Amino acid sequence: MYDPRVMPDRSRRAGAAMRWLVSMAVVIGAAAAERATAQTPRSQRVTPVVRVFEQCSPAVVNLSTTRVVTVRQPRGLDLLFEDIFDMPRPRQRQFKTHSVGSGFLIHEDGYLVTNAHVIEQAAEISVTLADGTELPAEEVARDRQNDLAILKVDAPQPLPHLKLGRSDDLMPGETVIAIGNPLGYQHTVTSGIVSALDRELRFSPDLAYSGLIQTDASINPGNSGGPLLNVHGELIGVNTAIRGDAQNIGFAIPVDELHELLPTMLDIERIRRVDFGIHFDGAGGSAAQAGVRVGRVDARSPAAGADIKEGDRVVSVNGVRTDDFIDAFGALNRARPGDTVSIEVVRDGARKTARVAFEALPAADAPVMLGRYFGLSAREFRRLELRRLGIERPVGLIIERVEPESEAARAGVSQGDIVTLFGGWPVTSMSSLGQLIEQVSSGDGIPFQLLREQAGHWTRFELVLRAQ
Protein backbone atom coordinates (compact mmCIF):
# COMPACT_ATOMS: atom_id res chain seq x y z
CA MET A 1 0.00 0.00 0.00
CA TYR A 2 1.36 3.40 -0.96
CA ASP A 3 2.52 5.46 2.00
CA PRO A 4 3.81 8.95 1.09
CA ARG A 5 5.69 9.20 4.38
CA VAL A 6 7.78 6.10 3.71
CA MET A 7 8.74 6.40 -0.02
CA PRO A 8 10.92 9.54 0.22
CA ASP A 9 13.05 7.83 2.88
CA ARG A 10 13.42 4.73 0.73
CA SER A 11 14.40 6.89 -2.23
CA ARG A 12 17.10 8.58 -0.21
CA ARG A 13 18.51 5.22 0.89
CA ALA A 14 18.46 3.92 -2.70
CA GLY A 15 20.27 7.03 -3.98
CA ALA A 16 22.94 6.71 -1.33
CA ALA A 17 23.45 3.07 -2.21
CA MET A 18 23.79 3.95 -5.87
CA ARG A 19 26.38 6.66 -5.14
CA TRP A 20 28.35 4.20 -3.03
CA LEU A 21 28.31 1.64 -5.85
CA VAL A 22 29.51 4.22 -8.36
CA SER A 23 32.34 5.35 -6.09
CA MET A 24 33.40 1.76 -5.50
CA ALA A 25 33.37 1.12 -9.24
CA VAL A 26 35.70 4.09 -9.74
CA VAL A 27 38.06 2.82 -7.03
CA ILE A 28 38.00 -0.72 -8.42
CA GLY A 29 38.60 0.57 -11.96
CA ALA A 30 41.55 2.68 -10.86
CA ALA A 31 43.00 -0.28 -9.00
CA ALA A 32 42.53 -2.49 -12.04
CA ALA A 33 44.24 0.08 -14.25
CA GLU A 34 47.13 0.29 -11.79
CA ARG A 35 47.42 -3.50 -11.75
CA ALA A 36 47.37 -3.56 -15.57
CA THR A 37 50.18 -1.02 -15.69
CA ALA A 38 52.15 -2.97 -13.13
CA GLN A 39 51.74 -6.10 -15.23
CA THR A 40 53.54 -4.45 -18.25
CA PRO A 41 56.73 -3.02 -16.77
CA ARG A 42 59.25 -1.06 -18.83
CA SER A 43 61.50 -4.07 -19.17
CA GLN A 44 58.76 -5.96 -21.01
CA ARG A 45 58.38 -3.14 -23.56
CA VAL A 46 61.99 -3.42 -24.70
CA THR A 47 62.02 -4.22 -28.41
CA PRO A 48 65.03 -5.23 -30.52
CA VAL A 49 65.29 -1.62 -31.69
CA VAL A 50 65.39 -0.37 -28.09
CA ARG A 51 68.07 -2.93 -27.21
CA VAL A 52 70.22 -1.99 -30.18
CA PHE A 53 69.95 1.72 -29.41
CA GLU A 54 70.86 1.23 -25.75
CA GLN A 55 73.76 -1.02 -26.69
CA CYS A 56 75.18 0.88 -29.65
CA SER A 57 74.38 4.58 -29.26
CA PRO A 58 77.37 5.28 -26.94
CA ALA A 59 79.66 4.41 -29.87
CA VAL A 60 77.94 6.85 -32.28
CA VAL A 61 79.40 10.34 -32.50
CA ASN A 62 78.45 13.72 -33.91
CA LEU A 63 80.91 15.34 -36.32
CA SER A 64 81.22 19.08 -36.80
CA THR A 65 83.75 20.94 -38.88
CA THR A 66 85.25 24.36 -39.27
CA ARG A 67 84.97 25.15 -42.96
CA VAL A 68 87.35 27.67 -44.42
CA VAL A 69 86.99 26.76 -48.08
CA THR A 70 84.63 27.04 -50.97
CA VAL A 71 84.86 23.97 -53.19
CA ARG A 72 84.10 24.07 -56.90
CA GLN A 73 85.51 21.19 -58.94
CA PRO A 74 86.04 21.74 -62.69
CA ARG A 75 83.51 19.07 -63.77
CA GLY A 76 80.86 19.93 -61.23
CA LEU A 77 81.70 16.93 -59.03
CA ASP A 78 80.98 18.77 -55.80
CA LEU A 79 77.64 20.00 -57.09
CA LEU A 80 76.73 16.38 -57.72
CA PHE A 81 77.91 15.45 -54.21
CA GLU A 82 75.80 18.23 -52.71
CA ASP A 83 72.72 17.18 -54.66
CA ILE A 84 73.00 13.46 -53.91
CA PHE A 85 74.00 13.80 -50.28
CA ASP A 86 71.79 16.84 -49.69
CA MET A 87 74.76 18.69 -48.22
CA PRO A 88 74.50 22.34 -47.20
CA ARG A 89 76.44 24.49 -49.66
CA PRO A 90 79.02 26.67 -47.93
CA ARG A 91 78.97 30.41 -48.48
CA GLN A 92 82.12 32.21 -49.47
CA ARG A 93 84.19 34.09 -46.91
CA GLN A 94 82.50 32.51 -43.89
CA PHE A 95 84.41 30.84 -41.10
CA LYS A 96 82.03 28.93 -38.86
CA THR A 97 81.51 25.57 -37.22
CA HIS A 98 78.35 23.54 -37.77
CA SER A 99 77.21 19.96 -37.64
CA VAL A 100 77.77 18.05 -40.84
CA GLY A 101 77.37 14.39 -40.10
CA SER A 102 77.79 11.28 -38.01
CA GLY A 103 80.41 8.67 -37.32
CA PHE A 104 80.99 5.63 -35.14
CA LEU A 105 83.88 4.25 -33.13
CA ILE A 106 85.41 0.95 -34.25
CA HIS A 107 88.13 0.65 -31.61
CA GLU A 108 88.50 1.64 -27.98
CA ASP A 109 91.68 3.62 -28.79
CA GLY A 110 89.54 6.26 -30.53
CA TYR A 111 89.52 5.19 -34.19
CA LEU A 112 86.24 6.01 -35.90
CA VAL A 113 84.64 5.73 -39.34
CA THR A 114 82.62 8.26 -41.30
CA ASN A 115 82.00 9.18 -44.93
CA ALA A 116 84.70 10.89 -46.97
CA HIS A 117 82.17 13.44 -48.19
CA VAL A 118 81.33 14.41 -44.59
CA ILE A 119 84.85 15.80 -44.07
CA GLU A 120 85.48 16.80 -47.68
CA GLN A 121 85.31 20.54 -47.00
CA ALA A 122 86.68 20.50 -43.46
CA ALA A 123 89.72 22.31 -42.13
CA GLU A 124 89.17 21.18 -38.56
CA ILE A 125 87.05 18.29 -37.32
CA SER A 126 85.44 18.06 -33.91
CA VAL A 127 83.84 14.92 -32.47
CA THR A 128 81.13 14.99 -29.81
CA LEU A 129 80.73 11.74 -27.89
CA ALA A 130 77.43 10.44 -26.52
CA ASP A 131 78.19 11.87 -23.07
CA GLY A 132 78.72 15.35 -24.51
CA THR A 133 82.53 15.27 -24.45
CA GLU A 134 83.95 17.22 -27.39
CA LEU A 135 87.33 16.18 -28.79
CA PRO A 136 89.41 17.32 -31.77
CA ALA A 137 89.82 14.65 -34.43
CA GLU A 138 92.76 13.93 -36.71
CA GLU A 139 92.22 12.49 -40.17
CA VAL A 140 94.02 9.16 -40.56
CA ALA A 141 92.90 8.05 -44.02
CA ARG A 142 90.40 8.95 -46.71
CA ASP A 143 89.11 6.90 -49.64
CA ARG A 144 86.98 9.12 -51.86
CA GLN A 145 86.32 6.39 -54.41
CA ASN A 146 84.52 4.38 -51.74
CA ASP A 147 83.33 7.40 -49.68
CA LEU A 148 84.97 6.26 -46.45
CA ALA A 149 87.27 8.03 -44.00
CA ILE A 150 88.98 7.12 -40.73
CA LEU A 151 89.55 9.64 -37.94
CA LYS A 152 91.30 9.42 -34.59
CA VAL A 153 90.47 11.07 -31.27
CA ASP A 154 92.51 10.91 -28.09
CA ALA A 155 90.54 10.15 -24.94
CA PRO A 156 91.79 9.49 -21.40
CA GLN A 157 89.84 6.23 -21.16
CA PRO A 158 88.89 3.37 -23.54
CA LEU A 159 85.91 4.31 -25.68
CA PRO A 160 82.83 2.22 -26.53
CA HIS A 161 82.90 0.82 -30.05
CA LEU A 162 80.71 -1.12 -32.45
CA LYS A 163 81.11 -4.71 -33.48
CA LEU A 164 81.62 -5.10 -37.22
CA GLY A 165 79.22 -7.65 -38.65
CA ARG A 166 78.89 -8.94 -42.21
CA SER A 167 76.77 -7.91 -45.18
CA ASP A 168 77.10 -10.82 -47.58
CA ASP A 169 74.07 -12.60 -46.09
CA LEU A 170 71.62 -9.68 -45.83
CA MET A 171 68.00 -10.38 -46.75
CA PRO A 172 65.53 -7.91 -48.32
CA GLY A 173 62.88 -7.31 -45.68
CA GLU A 174 65.34 -7.75 -42.80
CA THR A 175 64.95 -5.22 -39.97
CA VAL A 176 67.68 -2.59 -39.74
CA ILE A 177 68.36 0.31 -37.37
CA ALA A 178 70.06 3.62 -38.14
CA ILE A 179 71.57 5.88 -35.46
CA GLY A 180 72.91 9.32 -36.25
CA ASN A 181 72.54 13.07 -36.04
CA PRO A 182 70.01 14.13 -38.70
CA LEU A 183 69.82 17.91 -39.04
CA GLY A 184 71.90 18.22 -35.88
CA TYR A 185 69.50 16.26 -33.64
CA GLN A 186 72.04 14.10 -31.86
CA HIS A 187 71.54 10.39 -31.30
CA THR A 188 68.36 9.93 -33.27
CA VAL A 189 67.29 6.34 -33.92
CA THR A 190 65.15 5.17 -36.82
CA SER A 191 64.29 1.71 -38.03
CA GLY A 192 63.08 0.04 -41.19
CA ILE A 193 64.00 -2.81 -43.47
CA VAL A 194 66.50 -3.69 -46.15
CA SER A 195 64.58 -2.52 -49.21
CA ALA A 196 67.00 -3.88 -51.80
CA LEU A 197 70.61 -4.94 -52.30
CA ASP A 198 73.37 -4.20 -54.81
CA ARG A 199 72.17 -0.72 -55.79
CA GLU A 200 74.37 1.74 -57.71
CA LEU A 201 74.73 5.51 -57.50
CA ARG A 202 76.62 7.13 -60.36
CA PHE A 203 78.00 10.65 -60.02
CA SER A 204 80.08 10.86 -63.18
CA PRO A 205 81.56 8.51 -65.79
CA ASP A 206 84.55 8.06 -63.47
CA LEU A 207 82.83 7.88 -60.08
CA ALA A 208 80.12 5.44 -59.03
CA TYR A 209 79.27 3.64 -55.81
CA SER A 210 78.04 0.11 -56.41
CA GLY A 211 76.81 -2.73 -54.24
CA LEU A 212 74.95 -0.36 -51.92
CA ILE A 213 72.27 -1.39 -49.42
CA GLN A 214 68.95 0.36 -49.98
CA THR A 215 66.85 0.93 -46.86
CA ASP A 216 63.62 2.67 -45.92
CA ALA A 217 64.90 3.52 -42.42
CA SER A 218 64.64 7.32 -42.29
CA ILE A 219 67.99 8.86 -43.24
CA ASN A 220 68.34 12.63 -43.45
CA PRO A 221 71.17 15.15 -43.87
CA GLY A 222 73.43 14.58 -40.88
CA ASN A 223 72.93 10.80 -40.86
CA SER A 224 75.77 10.39 -43.36
CA GLY A 225 78.63 8.43 -41.85
CA GLY A 226 76.45 6.86 -39.16
CA PRO A 227 75.93 3.13 -38.65
CA LEU A 228 73.28 0.86 -40.12
CA LEU A 229 72.83 -2.05 -37.71
CA ASN A 230 71.02 -5.38 -37.60
CA VAL A 231 68.82 -6.49 -34.70
CA HIS A 232 71.85 -7.94 -32.91
CA GLY A 233 73.61 -4.57 -32.86
CA GLU A 234 76.18 -5.60 -35.45
CA LEU A 235 77.32 -3.05 -38.02
CA ILE A 236 76.12 -4.03 -41.49
CA GLY A 237 76.56 -0.74 -43.34
CA VAL A 238 77.66 2.90 -43.30
CA ASN A 239 74.84 5.32 -44.13
CA THR A 240 76.02 7.40 -47.04
CA ALA A 241 73.34 8.92 -49.27
CA ILE A 242 69.68 9.78 -49.71
CA ARG A 243 67.46 10.53 -52.66
CA GLY A 244 66.36 14.09 -52.07
CA ASP A 245 63.49 13.70 -54.56
CA ALA A 246 62.03 10.67 -52.78
CA GLN A 247 60.84 9.54 -49.37
CA ASN A 248 62.48 6.75 -47.39
CA ILE A 249 65.05 5.82 -50.00
CA GLY A 250 68.47 5.77 -48.39
CA PHE A 251 71.70 3.97 -49.14
CA ALA A 252 74.48 2.45 -47.07
CA ILE A 253 77.94 1.11 -47.91
CA PRO A 254 78.06 -2.61 -47.02
CA VAL A 255 80.30 -3.37 -44.05
CA ASP A 256 82.14 -6.03 -46.07
CA GLU A 257 83.57 -3.19 -48.16
CA LEU A 258 84.82 -1.54 -44.99
CA HIS A 259 86.39 -4.84 -43.93
CA GLU A 260 88.31 -4.98 -47.21
CA LEU A 261 89.57 -1.40 -47.01
CA LEU A 262 90.59 -1.26 -43.35
CA PRO A 263 93.97 -3.03 -43.71
CA THR A 264 95.04 -0.38 -46.24
CA MET A 265 93.50 2.60 -44.47
CA LEU A 266 94.93 1.49 -41.10
CA ASP A 267 98.31 0.35 -42.41
CA ILE A 268 100.35 -0.13 -39.25
CA GLU A 269 103.63 0.49 -41.05
CA ARG A 270 102.46 3.91 -42.26
CA ILE A 271 100.78 4.91 -38.99
CA ARG A 272 103.63 3.84 -36.68
CA ARG A 273 106.47 4.24 -39.19
CA VAL A 274 107.92 0.76 -38.75
CA ASP A 275 109.16 -2.09 -40.87
CA PHE A 276 106.98 -5.08 -39.97
CA GLY A 277 106.08 -6.95 -43.13
CA ILE A 278 102.62 -8.40 -42.39
CA HIS A 279 99.70 -7.20 -44.50
CA PHE A 280 96.31 -8.54 -43.45
CA ASP A 281 93.17 -9.47 -45.30
CA GLY A 282 90.16 -7.54 -44.08
CA ALA A 283 87.74 -10.45 -43.67
CA GLY A 284 87.35 -11.74 -40.13
CA GLY A 285 87.56 -15.28 -38.85
CA SER A 286 84.78 -17.83 -38.53
CA ALA A 287 83.92 -20.75 -36.33
CA ALA A 288 85.87 -22.98 -38.71
CA GLN A 289 88.84 -20.62 -39.18
CA ALA A 290 89.67 -18.37 -36.25
CA GLY A 291 91.79 -15.25 -36.50
CA VAL A 292 92.67 -12.80 -39.25
CA ARG A 293 94.32 -14.02 -42.44
CA VAL A 294 97.75 -12.83 -43.55
CA GLY A 295 97.30 -11.61 -47.11
CA ARG A 296 100.92 -10.80 -47.91
CA VAL A 297 104.35 -10.87 -46.29
CA ASP A 298 107.05 -8.52 -47.56
CA ALA A 299 110.29 -10.18 -48.63
CA ARG A 300 113.29 -9.53 -46.36
CA SER A 301 110.97 -8.06 -43.69
CA PRO A 302 110.99 -8.93 -39.98
CA ALA A 303 107.85 -11.04 -40.52
CA ALA A 304 109.50 -13.02 -43.33
CA GLY A 305 112.52 -13.61 -41.13
CA ALA A 306 110.23 -14.94 -38.39
CA ASP A 307 108.67 -17.48 -40.81
CA ILE A 308 105.25 -15.78 -41.09
CA LYS A 309 103.68 -16.79 -44.40
CA GLU A 310 100.80 -15.76 -46.61
CA GLY A 311 97.68 -17.67 -45.61
CA ASP A 312 98.61 -17.94 -41.93
CA ARG A 313 95.82 -16.91 -39.59
CA VAL A 314 96.90 -14.67 -36.73
CA VAL A 315 94.91 -15.64 -33.64
CA SER A 316 96.68 -13.44 -31.07
CA VAL A 317 99.11 -10.53 -30.85
CA ASN A 318 101.02 -10.10 -27.59
CA GLY A 319 98.48 -12.37 -25.94
CA VAL A 320 95.46 -10.41 -27.19
CA ARG A 321 92.94 -12.50 -29.12
CA THR A 322 92.49 -11.34 -32.72
CA ASP A 323 89.18 -12.38 -34.25
CA ASP A 324 89.37 -9.77 -37.00
CA PHE A 325 91.62 -7.09 -38.40
CA ILE A 326 90.51 -4.43 -35.90
CA ASP A 327 91.63 -6.67 -33.03
CA ALA A 328 95.01 -7.22 -34.67
CA PHE A 329 95.47 -3.56 -35.49
CA GLY A 330 94.58 -2.50 -31.95
CA ALA A 331 97.13 -4.87 -30.43
CA LEU A 332 99.86 -3.83 -32.88
CA ASN A 333 99.06 -0.15 -32.41
CA ARG A 334 99.96 -0.45 -28.72
CA ALA A 335 103.44 -1.74 -29.55
CA ARG A 336 106.25 0.78 -29.81
CA PRO A 337 108.86 1.01 -32.56
CA GLY A 338 111.79 -1.12 -31.43
CA ASP A 339 109.59 -3.66 -29.60
CA THR A 340 109.42 -7.35 -30.45
CA VAL A 341 105.85 -8.52 -30.98
CA SER A 342 104.60 -12.02 -30.14
CA ILE A 343 102.45 -13.33 -33.00
CA GLU A 344 100.51 -16.60 -32.62
CA VAL A 345 99.38 -18.10 -35.93
CA VAL A 346 97.50 -21.15 -37.12
CA ARG A 347 98.94 -22.93 -40.16
CA ASP A 348 97.54 -26.21 -41.50
CA GLY A 349 95.68 -26.75 -38.23
CA ALA A 350 98.77 -26.35 -36.05
CA ARG A 351 99.59 -23.38 -33.83
CA LYS A 352 102.96 -21.71 -33.65
CA THR A 353 104.25 -18.54 -32.01
CA ALA A 354 106.71 -16.22 -33.71
CA ARG A 355 108.50 -13.14 -32.42
CA VAL A 356 108.50 -10.34 -34.98
CA ALA A 357 110.54 -7.15 -34.64
CA PHE A 358 108.71 -3.83 -34.84
CA GLU A 359 111.66 -2.07 -36.48
CA ALA A 360 111.68 1.72 -36.44
CA LEU A 361 112.34 3.33 -39.83
CA PRO A 362 114.55 6.38 -40.28
CA ALA A 363 112.75 9.59 -41.14
CA ALA A 364 112.54 10.28 -44.86
CA ASP A 365 113.96 13.57 -46.13
CA ALA A 366 110.61 14.83 -47.39
CA PRO A 367 111.74 18.34 -48.44
CA VAL A 368 114.56 16.97 -50.62
CA MET A 369 112.37 14.30 -52.21
CA LEU A 370 109.54 16.77 -52.87
CA GLY A 371 111.97 19.00 -54.72
CA ARG A 372 113.61 16.14 -56.59
CA TYR A 373 110.38 14.51 -57.79
CA PHE A 374 108.04 17.48 -58.25
CA GLY A 375 110.09 20.69 -58.22
CA LEU A 376 108.32 21.96 -55.12
CA SER A 377 109.51 23.39 -51.83
CA ALA A 378 107.05 23.33 -48.89
CA ARG A 379 106.93 23.93 -45.16
CA GLU A 380 104.63 23.40 -42.20
CA PHE A 381 102.17 25.99 -40.88
CA ARG A 382 103.36 28.56 -38.36
CA ARG A 383 101.34 29.37 -35.26
CA LEU A 384 100.53 32.92 -36.39
CA GLU A 385 99.17 31.59 -39.70
CA LEU A 386 96.83 29.25 -37.84
CA ARG A 387 95.59 32.15 -35.75
CA ARG A 388 94.97 34.23 -38.85
CA LEU A 389 92.79 31.48 -40.27
CA GLY A 390 91.07 30.92 -36.92
CA ILE A 391 91.98 27.23 -36.76
CA GLU A 392 93.97 25.22 -34.21
CA ARG A 393 95.47 22.48 -36.38
CA PRO A 394 97.34 22.62 -39.70
CA VAL A 395 95.31 21.82 -42.80
CA GLY A 396 98.30 20.92 -44.97
CA LEU A 397 101.74 22.08 -46.09
CA ILE A 398 102.39 25.55 -47.54
CA ILE A 399 104.23 25.69 -50.87
CA GLU A 400 107.10 28.20 -50.71
CA ARG A 401 108.64 27.77 -54.14
CA VAL A 402 107.80 26.20 -57.50
CA GLU A 403 110.59 25.40 -59.96
CA PRO A 404 109.89 27.49 -63.11
CA GLU A 405 110.29 24.66 -65.63
CA SER A 406 108.64 21.92 -63.56
CA GLU A 407 105.40 20.13 -64.38
CA ALA A 408 103.90 21.73 -61.26
CA ALA A 409 104.61 25.19 -62.65
CA ARG A 410 103.06 24.27 -65.99
CA ALA A 411 99.99 22.95 -64.14
CA GLY A 412 99.57 26.30 -62.40
CA VAL A 413 100.78 25.47 -58.89
CA SER A 414 101.80 28.70 -57.13
CA GLN A 415 103.65 29.89 -54.08
CA GLY A 416 101.23 30.02 -51.13
CA ASP A 417 99.12 27.07 -52.29
CA ILE A 418 98.48 24.52 -49.55
CA VAL A 419 98.91 20.78 -50.18
CA THR A 420 96.21 18.94 -48.19
CA LEU A 421 96.27 15.49 -49.82
CA PHE A 422 99.20 13.65 -51.40
CA GLY A 423 98.30 10.50 -53.28
CA GLY A 424 94.89 10.55 -51.59
CA TRP A 425 96.34 10.65 -48.06
CA PRO A 426 96.22 13.64 -45.69
CA VAL A 427 99.49 15.52 -45.13
CA THR A 428 99.70 18.03 -42.28
CA SER A 429 103.40 17.68 -41.46
CA MET A 430 106.68 16.87 -43.14
CA SER A 431 106.68 13.61 -41.24
CA SER A 432 103.34 12.52 -42.73
CA LEU A 433 104.53 13.55 -46.19
CA GLY A 434 107.77 11.62 -45.72
CA GLN A 435 105.91 8.37 -45.04
CA LEU A 436 104.18 8.74 -48.41
CA ILE A 437 106.76 10.28 -50.68
CA GLU A 438 109.38 7.62 -49.95
CA GLN A 439 107.09 5.14 -51.73
CA VAL A 440 107.13 7.22 -54.94
CA SER A 441 109.14 6.12 -57.97
CA SER A 442 110.07 8.14 -61.04
CA GLY A 443 107.21 8.15 -63.52
CA ASP A 444 104.45 7.71 -60.92
CA GLY A 445 101.44 9.96 -61.36
CA ILE A 446 100.55 11.33 -57.90
CA PRO A 447 97.21 13.07 -57.21
CA PHE A 448 97.60 16.34 -55.30
CA GLN A 449 94.78 18.24 -53.58
CA LEU A 450 95.51 21.91 -52.94
CA LEU A 451 93.89 24.98 -51.40
CA ARG A 452 94.39 28.46 -52.82
CA GLU A 453 93.33 31.82 -51.39
CA GLN A 454 91.71 34.03 -54.00
CA ALA A 455 89.90 37.32 -53.38
CA GLY A 456 89.35 36.62 -49.72
CA HIS A 457 88.07 33.06 -50.02
CA TRP A 458 89.59 29.63 -50.48
CA THR A 459 89.27 27.34 -53.47
CA ARG A 460 90.14 23.65 -53.48
CA PHE A 461 91.43 22.03 -56.67
CA GLU A 462 93.05 18.77 -57.70
CA LEU A 463 95.70 17.75 -60.21
CA VAL A 464 98.04 14.86 -60.97
CA LEU A 465 101.79 15.48 -61.10
CA ARG A 466 104.21 12.94 -62.53
CA ALA A 467 107.32 12.25 -60.47
CA GLN A 468 110.55 13.13 -62.33
CATH topology identical between 53-153 and 366-466 = no
Which span out of 41-50, 78-87, 395-404 was modeled with the highest average pLDDT?
395-404
Mean pLDDT of the region 419-432:
87
pTM: 0.76
* Catalytic residue (one of 167, 218, 224, 316): 224
Beta-carbon contacts of residue 184 (< 8 Å; ≥ 6 apart): 62, 98, 99, 222
Give the pLDDT confidence score for residue 90 in this predicted structure.
Answer: 44
Give the pLDDT confidence score for residue 32 in this predicted structure.
Answer: 59
The CATH number of 53-153 is 2.40.10.10
* Catalytic residue (one of 78, 126, 147, 417): 147
- Domain positions in the chain are 53-153, 165-259, 274-360, 366-466
The pLDDT tens digits of the residues spanning 309-352 come to 999 999 999 999 998 899 999 999 999 999 999 999 999 889 99
Q: What percent of the chain has pLDDT over 90?
A: 48
Q: If you average pLDDT over every residue of the chain, what do you get?
A: 83
The pLDDT tens digits of the residues spanning 227-283 come to 999 999 999 999 987 766 657 788 999 999 999 999 999 999 988 889 999 999 876
Give the pLDDT confidence score for residue 53 in this predicted structure.
Answer: 95
* Catalytic residue (one of 107, 117, 161, 279): 117
The CATH number of 165-259 is 2.40.10.10
Q: Is 117 a catalytic residue?
A: yes
Burial of residue 62 (number of CB atoms within 10 Å: 0-12, 13-18, 19+): buried
CA angle at residue 347 from 345 to 349, to 5 degrees?
110
Architecture per CATH, 274-360:
Roll (2.30)
The total of other beta-carbon atoms located within 10 Å of residue 293's CB is 19
Classified by CATH at the fold level, domain 366-466 comes out as Pdz3 Domain (2.30.42)
pLDDT of 190 above 90? yes
